[in-house]
Chain A
Amino acid sequence: MAEEILKVEHLNKFYGDWQALHDINFDLQKGEVVTLLGPSGSGKSTLIRTLNGLEPFKDGNIYFKGEKVEPTPKEWQKLRQQIGMVFQSYDLFPNLTVLDNILLAPTKVQKRDREEVKKEAMALLERVDLADQANSYPRQLSGGQKQRIAIVRALAMHPELMLFDEVTASLDPEMVRGVLEIIKELADRDHMTMIIVTHEMNFAAQIADRVLFLEDGKLLEDTPGKQFFEHPQTARAAEFLSSMEF
């Protein structure tokens, strides 16, 4: 039986009086790729940010590898070392070179040996075709390059789970493909467990083992990927899919 990486139970989140997430329930097995779809403002980003504690939640439970998460800063700091996250705006550290961006957390947070991490970082950079940029600064790179580096920076921590929050949304169209190919390869070759928020429907259809469809903070569907794109269960999801076609 597959190992359970994540389980979310009755998760509710409020911004003041406004409820952003309503009673969210789902689980995630090791090696599974789940895409989080839904219209703007449906709570996709809020949900994915809640899963590594960047957003606090009011009630409900999150279990990581079978253990209940105590939502304290200390506990999250520990867990985040196993949950990699990549953001829409890359957010590399502008004062550090590409290599130092990658080495910072493994050496300072995980206290791993610098030389060992460096070897690994160079191998990862090689894999995303950016080994020649190891000593560049983020400002010298294109958006697509920066996002590939951000993925490498997260992978260097040896995460058990990767979260991707609209990672291609601010890229020029011709840069999108390179980033998506890397994520696809992570799924196919490394069997990385991933949750992906995206608006790239073709990509989602290709990569998703399961689709979670959100609207107004409610989880309307939790459907196997192929089935979601061919026969969505809810009318709302069908409407959403047809609105994305062009």
Chain B
Amino acid sequence: MDWTIIQQSLPNFVQGFKLTLWLSLVGIVGSIIVGIITSLVQYFRVPVLKQILNVYVEVARNTPLLIQLFFLYYAFPVMGIKMTAETCGIIGLIFLGGAYMAEGFTGGFNGVSQNQLDAGEALGMNQFQLARYVVLPQGLSLSVPALAANIIFLIKETSIFSVIAIPELTNTALDLIGMYYRSNEYLFVLVVAYAIILIPVILLLDWLERRVRYGAFGN
């Protein structure tokens, strides 16, 4: 292990680190939005839209992100749609993540008991009020564990962006290894960099899970 090699590579890794963080953040926020909308449509069985989104969820979950990215990056330009690699990456991540998040939220929404729905209905609530005041607050808190797992999964999934030459962390490391043949040093930095992102995220999500656990208690 040569520390000067590591030191010299740090500015490159900092760039990659920032990009990984940024792509993860956009991807996660986008996935959560797509996921909530998708699972609400499924939960309330909105006609037509529900069938379309069912197909979306199945396609997104049953194809690898790698293939989705190839499709966006190589096949779309052939059809006349050109996007930067980063745009492709973010769209791909949200496409995949939205489906996973939708499944997670659906699990949470389904966990809201029929008794709670009856209670809301017996008070004269309409579908929208039921969603807003009963299903969402309780369902979201029940989905936090799935949400946490998906967030961590999506952050790690950004490493696949390296294949379409987005200079995030993994791509940076692979590039440096290709140029200088120092795998040990660069892979070491790579692992540390992911740990620096993921460990605080995991701690934060654990804390959040403990905070919102009221859903599991008596009513």
Contact B124 A78 (CB under 8 A): yes
Asked whether any CB of chain A lies closer than 8 Å to the CB of B85, the reply is no
Asked whether any CB of chain A lies closer than 8 Å to the CB of B180, the reply is no
Which residue of B124, B134, B219 contacts A138 across the interface (Cβ within 8 Å)?
B219
Contact A95 B138 (CB under 8 A): yes
Contact A90 B122 (CB under 8 A): no
CB distance from A110 to the nearest CB of B (A): 7
CB distance from A21 to the nearest CB of B (A): 18
Asked whether any CB of chain B lies closer than 8 Å to the CB of A34, the reply is no
CB distance from B176 to the nearest CB of A (A): 50
Contacts of B127 in A (CB 8 A): 73
Asked whether any CB of chain A lies closer than 8 Å to the CB of B189, the reply is no
Asked whether any CB of chain A lies closer than 8 Å to the CB of B129, the reply is yes
Contact B219 A94 (CB under 8 A): yes
Contact B133 A108 (CB under 8 A): yes
Q: Beta-carbon contacts of B96-109 to A below 8 Å, as 1s and 0s?
A: 00000000000000
Q: Beta-carbon contacts of A124-155 to B below 8 Å, as 1s and 0s?
A: 00000000000001110000001000000110
Interface residues of B in 119-153 (CB under 8 A from A): 119-127, 129, 133-134, 137-138, 141
Stretch of A57-65, A79-87, A184-192, A236-244 on the interface side: A79-87
CB distance from A99 to the nearest CB of B (A): 15
Contact B133 A104 (CB under 8 A): yes
Contacts of A146 in B (CB 8 A): 218-219
Given contacts A91-B219, A95-B141, A138-B219, contact A104 B214 (CB under 8 A): no
CB distance from A91 to the nearest CB of B (A): 4
**How far is A244 from B178 in the complex, measured between Cα atoms in Å?**
85
Contact A52 B133 (CB under 8 A): no
Contact A93 B124 (CB under 8 A): no
Size of the A side of the interface (Cβ < 8 Å), in residues, is 33
Nearest neighbor of A100 in chain B, beta-carbon distance: B133
Asked whether any CB of chain A lies closer than 8 Å to the CB of B206, the reply is no
Contacts of B123 in A (CB 8 A): 80-81, 104-105, 109, 153-154, 157
Contacts of A234 in B (CB 8 A): none
Contacts of B12 in A (CB 8 A): none
**How far is A76 from B115 in the complex, measured between Cα atoms in Å?**
18
Contacts of A53 in B (CB 8 A): 121
Contact B129 A95 (CB under 8 A): no
Nearest neighbor of A104 in chain B, beta-carbon distance: B133
Contacts of B15 in A (CB 8 A): none
Q: Beta-carbon contacts of B28-40 to A below 8 Å, as 1s and 0s?
A: 0000000000000
Asked whether any CB of chain B lies closer than 8 Å to the CB of A197, the reply is no
Asked whether any CB of chain B lies closer than 8 Å to the CB of A50, the reply is no
**How far is A43 from B137 in the complex, measured between Cα atoms in Å?**
33
Asked whether any CB of chain B lies closer than 8 Å to the CB of A227, the reply is no
Contact A139 B119 (CB under 8 A): no
CB distance from B93 to the nearest CB of A (A): 31
Contacts of B137 in A (CB 8 A): 93, 95
Contacts of B141 in A (CB 8 A): 95
Contact B134 A93 (CB under 8 A): yes
Contact A89 B115 (CB under 8 A): yes
CB distance from A163 to the nearest CB of B (A): 8
CB distance from A115 to the nearest CB of B (A): 20
Nearest neighbor of A49 in chain B, beta-carbon distance: B118
CB distance from B146 to the nearest CB of A (A): 18
Asked whether any CB of chain B lies closer than 8 Å to the CB of A201, the reply is no
20 CB < 8 A contacts A-B:
A77-B125, A80-B122, A81-B123, A84-B122, A85-B122, A87-B119, A89-B115, A89-B219, A91-B115, A91-B116, A93-B116, A93-B119, A94-B138, A104-B123, A105-B123, A105-B124, A138-B218, A139-B217, A139-B218, A146-B219
Complex A-B, nearest 6 residue pairs according to Cβ-Cβ distance, in ascending order: A91-B119, A105-B123, A81-B124, A139-B217, A85-B122, A80-B124
**Which residues of A line the B interface, CB within 8 A?**
52-54, 73-74, 76-78, 80-81, 83-85, 87, 89-95, 104-105, 108-110, 137-139, 146, 153-154, 157
